[in-house]
Amino acid sequence: MPNKDKIRKLEIRKNELVRNIHTCGYHKKKITNLVSELINQYHNDRISYNEYSRRISASLDNKSPEEWIRYYDDKIRDYNEQINRINEEIK
């Protein structure tokens, strides 16, 4: 069984990872909301397809929404794996 100092450090790291997971979820939701809003504007003829594409590109640093969602999903998966390893180490 790890000593108390090591357990404390592992718990701190685990809390950081949980915060990172929440941050990734927040950013995924922002992307989803942005895309939904722009699609809605495009379908209601408030913006052209070119404007839709320009805004998506500018807002998402020239990456597609799918690329960002995949990126955040991969990060969340990695963070969860790290949490599982920490939990095993704490036992």
Per-residue pLDDT at 2:
63
Q: Does residue 53 carry a pLDDT above 80? A: yes
User: Are 83 and 19 spatial neighbours (Cβ–Cβ below 8 Å)?
Assistant: no
Alpha helix positions (H), 1-91: 4-43, 49-59, 65-90
Q: How far apart are CA 85 and CA 55, in angstroms?
A: 40
Mean pLDDT, residues 28-50: 97
Query: What are the residues whose beta carbons fall under 8 Å from the beta carbon of 18, sequence distance 6 or more?
Result: 79, 83
- pTM here? 0.88
Q: How far apart are CA 39 and CA 42, in angstroms?
A: 5
Q: Does residue 58 carry a pLDDT above 80? A: yes
